[in-house]
Amino acid sequence: MARRVAVVAGGHSKFGKRLDATVRELCAEAYKPIYDEGITQDRIDATVLSYAASQFTGQGAGSALIADYLGLQNKPHLRVESACATGTASLRAAYGMIASGLYDVMLVLGVEQMNRVSSATATEYMARAGDMRWEYPFGISFPAFYALMASRYISEYNLPHEVLSMISVKSHHYGAQNPKAHLPKEVSLEEAHNAVPICRPLNLYDCSLITDGAAAVVLVAEERVKEFTDRPMWIKGIGAGASQMMIQDRPSLTSIPGAKQAAKAAYEMAGLKPNDINMAEVHDCFSIAELIAYEDLGFAEPGKGREIVENKENYHDGRIPVNCDGGLKSKGHPLGATGISMTYEILKQMRGEADKPSRQIKDVQYGLVHNVGQSGQFVNIFIYERGF
């Protein structure tokens, strides 16, 4: 019988262009608040490092480097890689190791440093997650993958671009209230809608940021949770899904098959329905991705996600608050840190510790994380339950 597993603590570095810090220093910044809470190295059995792409810094063997720097030299460690879903893939690995009885207490760290290379080089490195024979040589980068999905969605459902811009306006509204955010500034609908094109129909404000940063959480087996906190956040459901490698082989471009598969599995394991979820952190690598997530997660019917946007149901006081930390768009998207950062945000919201009342979601009992790798090849969904 698997043991239950809880998140008991979290930490987060400032996200941004962090040329002042190295990968290991960003990890130390994320671990420090956890250490300050009394979860010192001697209490941790093992670590998992979520580090998606070592080519950004050239540093290999990241988990050894970081364990060493954090004073965890004699603790087993491993590194996980699943493109932009690396954070939740790492959590899934740690969950399995704790649930099976292998370890009781694990530190899961996520980090990426993407700004040591130019945006053009970063775009090229990320594009290598596409098929190197049939996609990459034809210039399909990340903005292009999602531009294809956006074009299809716009033509199938007659979607005005302004709806996508409204998602970006919301993200920046909340990012402006998050001291850890990369680009904490409000934008108007006009600015977002009329921004410079990146890959039509997507413009600058439809794109997430190229970010440096780290985040960390501690997972603990149920028998040991009381030693760490009286405010645990339980892992209630986990779902993983996969989609065809090449976007051209997908049955539809207005939905991500792996996300629907992961959502179904997570809801089943949790014994919950979309209506039970009080908040969600979704993978808005592009504005269209957030819209599609509403539908893949069952918050709206196919083609109806725009109603959530137009009625502002996705705001902190709405029916289904989404990304009230700024999301990948304004908080930022350091690939390996993203899924852990989403988890950290749910922990904060459940504990009533959002930075400002104007972004605090009320009474979060169930929170959902939706983390997508590449253009949907791998998706992990976690449902968390407040345990206090």
Ligand X SMILES: CC(C)(COP(=O)(O)OP(=O)(O)OC[C@H]1O[C@@H](n2cnc3c(N)ncnc32)[C@H](O)[C@@H]1OP(=O)(O)O)[C@@H](O)C(=O)NCCC(=O)NCCS
Known catalytic residues are 84, 333
Partner residues linked to 241 by β-bridges: 379
142 binds ligand X (CB under 6 A): yes
Site string for ligand X, 102-121 (x = CB under 6 A): -----------------x--
Can you read off the two tokens belonging to residue 94?
A: 């740690």
Distance CA 306, CA 310 (A): 6
Among residues 333, 348, 359, 370, the one that binds ligand X under rule CB under 6 A: 333
CB of 140 to ligand X, least distance (A): 12
DSSP 363: -
CB of 350 to ligand X, least distance (A): 26
204 binds ligand X (CB under 6 A): yes
Q: Are 385 and 371 in contact (CB under 8 A)?
A: no
84 binds ligand X (CB under 6 A): yes
Among residues 147, 209, 280, 288, the one that binds ligand X under rule CB under 6 A: 209
208 binds ligand X (CB under 6 A): yes
Distance CA 54, CA 169 (A): 32
Site string for ligand X, 19-58 (x = CB under 6 A): ----------------------------------------
198 binds ligand X (CB under 6 A): yes
CB of 285 to ligand X, least distance (A): 3
Contact region for ligand X (CB under 6 A) — 152-160, 206-214, 218-226, 228-236?
A: 206-214
- Closest to ligand X by CB, 210 vs 218, is 210
Q: Are 233 and 195 in contact (CB under 8 A)?
A: no
Distance CA 129, CA 51 (A): 14
Distance CA 227, CA 326 (A): 33
386 binds ligand X (CB under 6 A): no
CB of 114 to ligand X, least distance (A): 8
98 binds ligand X (CB under 6 A): no
167 binds ligand X (CB under 6 A): no
Among residues 207, 219, 235, 320, the one that binds ligand X under rule CB under 6 A: 207
Distance CA 60, CA 58 (A): 6
- Residue of closest CB approach to ligand X: 119
CB of 106 to ligand X, least distance (A): 26
Q: Are 346 and 233 in contact (CB under 8 A)?
A: yes
- Closest to ligand X by CB, 321 vs 332, is 332
Total residues contacting ligand X (rule CB under 6 A)?
A: 16
Q: Which of 353, 375, 381, 345 is nearest to 15 (CA)?
A: 345
**229 to each of 34, 95, 331, 352, 388, how far by Cα in Å?**
12, 18, 27, 15, 10
Distance CA 97, CA 349 (A): 26
Distance CA 146, CA 190 (A): 22
- Closest to ligand X by CB, 34 vs 340, is 340
CB of 234 to ligand X, least distance (A): 29
Q: Is 143 helix (H, G, I), strand (E, B) or coil?
A: helix
Distance CA 18, CA 5 (A): 33
- Closest to ligand X by CB, 10 vs 16, is 16
Q: Could you say which residues in the range 256-315 bind ligand X, by CB under 6 A?
A: 285
205 binds ligand X (CB under 6 A): yes
Give the CA count within 13 Å in the CB-facing half-sphere of 140: 19
Can you read off the two tokens belonging to residue 220?
A: 């603990």
Can you give the binding site for ligand X, defined by CB under 6 A? 84, 119, 123, 126, 142-143, 183, 198, 204-205, 207-210, 285, 333
